[in-house]
Each structure stands twice: as structure tokens, then as C-alpha cells.
Structure 1
């Protein structure tokens, strides 16, 4: 079953508006639109010219925003040997975690712990993986709720952002490097959505992989109302500069690639 996009048109413009700290009236004035037109656009009714004007006012890329308005794009499915997205659910709230392993040895790392450990552990067992380490992208509760239980049941070593300390974890900062069997992992500070958010870039599979937490979503990004400019800069300079075939693994919504986001993401598209 395909995973739906985390953010729709109205979510995207809301995040941009809050990031820029603009009122509805200010957005409408910048776009040269009536306030009633802005309201109508949020309900899914409007023209290309109106959406383009709104994109310019919110400093978003017009073509990707139009695609979001039309709901005409979603990323192509991605299948990489050594990578599995595990979507954990509690009372209808879902979050992604990722198992990444060296296919030659089955040495495995978990990226984020999610909110429901049974699914994670069942996936590990089904794959016959040796879970040796857990890497945390950021410490929002939906990403760490199951951490203590998973760590206790696996004896895996835990790594977490130095700017968002995790009890008992080894601190991770910009440039920290690790290994998963023969795979190489490099940490990049991509904060903005959270104070110390880390993305993990993994080399050694058939394509590069970056586990990005809530820094970036397919066609959108994590909310960053208090550090919007920083979040944008990090996404553009530390994620969009990766090779086009790099698989991006977000905390919510479907997996995507750098190439797709350059073309289809209103926030970071080129």
C-alpha cells in the first residue's frame, strides 16, 4: 500500500506562512490577492495564476506548489537492498523508523525508535538482522517513545544528537562518523525543526541513503516556526547537495530521492 504524502497544499502554505511570520492579511497583500481568494485557495479552488502569486509571496517554488495544489505528484516507490521503512502506529498516529543493514553480514542499525516496538522487533526477526546500534534524529516523543524498550530488548548501543541529549546515548554532532558492518555513516546537523536535529548519510548500499528525521518530507519539510531560515538553509545546503539518486528517508510520509525533491518540493526545489 502506498503511503500518502505527509503534507498537502494547505499544510505547505501554512508552514511557509508561519515560518515567515506573516498574517493572512500580509500574505494576501504580498500576493496581490483578496483575503477571500486566499481562503478559497486553502479549500482547493483556484487558478494557476493565483497559486503562482501565492508561491511568490511565500517564497516557494511555483511549479511544485501547483503540483501540490492539484495533488498531481507523489514520489516513485524506492526499493533498496539493505533498507526497510517500518511505519509504527499508535491510535492512528504514525511515524517512520528505518532498519539499515549491511547485506553481507546482516549487521543492522535502527534509525529512530518510533512509538511501537513490536513491529520493529518483528521486522528485525523476519530479516534475521543483528541490531547493534540505534541512531536518533531528534528527540520529539514520536521518534523516541519506544527507545528504552527497544534498547533493553536488543542491547543495541544508542546514539543521539549532542544538542538534544538522550540519556545513556553517545553524542552525535556534525561530521561524526560510524560504521554498520561495511557501511559508512556520516552525521549532518540539519536542525531547525528541532534544536539539534541530525540527518544520517549512509554509503555502501546500491545508492546513497539519508535518514533525515523531520527535517524534510516528500514534497514538503518539517515545521520550523522559530528557526525557519535555518531549517531551509540546512535542507538546501546539506541535503539537496547530495547526489540525485540519494534516497531520502523522512520521519513521516513516503521515501523519496534528492532528484525528486529538487524537482517537486516547493521549499527546496531548484
Structure 2
């Protein structure tokens, strides 16, 4: 698979944070002691490092991590799963979106997480590996993540599950609450409510594979997190309390962008690095 670009540039991180914290351009420029012209240039994507570092301090972002992102100087080391895990990246309008498949190698019982824009690749793996897909879990119901749900559900005959805070608009779909456990052979899946980007945004924490795995949807991206103009503080708190408290070697399977790990994001994600 070709290297998947980071979901957000440094200016995306700045813009998301500013919107989420509801800080006007005038207020931010005054607090950071930068000119309106320099602020506009940085928000437009010009990597003026001294300005970026000043803005970071007043947006509760890590200056070093934000500078590194602006310089395009880091990319997450990709974890390897020898078996039982597959990732799919499909184009949707002007972006790409991820979906995932896990399975127990012995029982062949499997679960899908989101569908992406096109579930063809996932269906090919399901057939090739002779998997018995028991569940289709939705991190949230935004269109890019559920675009091919009817086809995947018809192919697998699996139960469709989403948060009771954000039920799926799909016949027969079921809902779960937080801290529910599902099992696939030797694999265990726990639901964590990481709402903010959407009302029912859910992280699925999976144990039993080569590495602990958190399928985080749009809660967190490598070097960024999903936007939320209305519930930014809630999303940030949920990310810190429920995702960054997981084991340090946990792999993050994000809704957009590449795989990453908790340890790497604590060091390189401007939202969490200090």
C-alpha cells in the first residue's frame, strides 16, 4: 500500500484549535503578539516558524511538535501485525478514509470497523481469508465512514452496531453503550465513548492481536485530531482520559491518515505533546 499522507497540515491544526476554542483572529493575534498579516499567512499554510511557535503557546499546542509538523520532518513508524489485521484506504470526494478488519486466526471469526467509501478491498480479504464476519462496528455515522454499509452488510450478513448516542440509519442496526465487551475467539473488543467530533464517536479497544489496538475513528489522527467547533473541549478531554490512558504500545487505527501509536503521538502530536 502506498504511504498514506498525514490527515492534517500544521495550519489545519491551528485552524481546528482556534475554532474549537472560539478565539477570534483579533484576539489570537493580540495574545500571541503577532501581526494580523502574519497570522493570516500562517493560517493559509505559510510555515513562519516564530509565528507558529507563538501561536502554539496560546492555543495549548506543543510548539516543538507543531514546528516539526510545519517542516514535514516526521512520519509515524508503521506497526506490523503479522496476522489478524487489515487496513483499507479509499478515496471519498477530496480526501481518503480508512476502514479496518480484525479476525481471530484460529476461529476465523472477524469484525469490520466502518466501511470507507468502497468496501471492495475488505470484501476481497474476507473471501480470501474465509472469514466469518460477526460484527460491523461503526466508529460514527458520518457519510465517508458508512458509505458502503449496505453492500458490506449484505455480503457478510453481520450485525451492524453503533453507539446509542448515534444510532445507524440502517435496518436492524443495534446499539451499544460504553464499556460493552464483544469477543471473537481469543480477541476482546471494548467500547469507549470518545464523543466530541460526533455525538456517538466510539473508540474500540482490541486485545489479543500482536499489539493492543485502538480503532479511534476521527477522535485522533497522527499529529492531529478530528475537528469539533461545538464540543472541542469534550473531545479533547475524552481523548486524553480514555485513549491516551491506554497501554503505551497501543496502536492507533485512525479514521484518516496513517497508523500510529500512543507513544508516538504523545511525542509528536501538537495536541498532546508538551
TM-score tier, shorter chain, comes to: over 0.9
Match of 1:213 among 210, 217, 222: 217
The aligned residue for residue 188 of structure 2 is 184
> Does the 8 A contact of 1:232 with 1:268 survive in 2?
no
Unmatched tracts of structure 2, length 5 or more: none
> Could you tell me which of 245, 251, 254 is aligned with 2:255?
251
Counterparts of 2:42 and 2:145, CA distance in 1:
33
Matched, 1:85 2:100: no
- Equivalents in 1 of 2:40, 2:155: separation in Å? 50
Runs of 4 or more, structure 1, over 6 Å off, are none
1:244 aligned counterpart, secondary structure: coil
Counterpart for residue 151 of structure 1: 153
Deviation at 1:91, TM superposition (A): 4.9
Tell me, what secondary structure is at the counterpart of 2:239?
helix
CA RMSD of aligned residues (A): 1.3
Q: How does 1:93-112 map to 2 (within 5 A)?
A: 93-112=95-114
| Distance in structure 1 (CA, Å) of the matches to 2:160 and 2:185 | 16
Maintained 8 Å contact 2:220/2:226: yes
Distance in 2 (CA, whole Å) between partners of 1:174 and 1:114 is 23
Correspondence list, 1:25-40, <5 A: 25-40=26-41
Shift of 1:202: 0.3
Evaluate the alpha carbon distance shift between residue 198 and residue 91 of structure 1 in structure 2; reply closer, same or farther with a 3 A threshold: closer
The residue aligned with 2:52 is 51
Deviations 1:77-105 (A, max 9, x none): 12112111111224554210000111222
1:241 to 245, 249, 274: 245
Match status 1:201 vs 2:202? no
TM-score, normalised to structure 1's length?
Answer: 0.95
1:227 alignment partner, one of 228, 231, 236 = 231
Paired residues of 2:92 and 2:144 also in contact (CA < 8 A): no
The within-5 A match list for 1:93-172 is 93-166=95-168, 167=170, 168-172=172-176
> C-alpha displacement at 1:149, in angstroms?
1.6
Q: CA deviation at 1:157?
A: 1.2
Query: Counterparts of 1:55 and 1:124 in 2: how far apart (Å)?
Result: 44
Distance 1:146 1:268 in 2: 33
Where does structure 1 lack aligned partners over 5 or more consecutive residues? none
Cα displacement (A) at 1:61 = 1.2
Question: 1:125 offset after TM fit, Å?
Answer: 1.9
Moved more, 213-222 or 65-74: 65-74
Match of 1:38, SS state, is: helix
TM-score (ref. length: structure 2): 0.94
Aligned to 1:19: 20
> Aligned equivalents of 2:86 and 2:119: distance in 1?
15
How many residues are treated as equivalent by the alignment? 269
141-150 vs 193-202, greater mean Cα deviation: 141-150
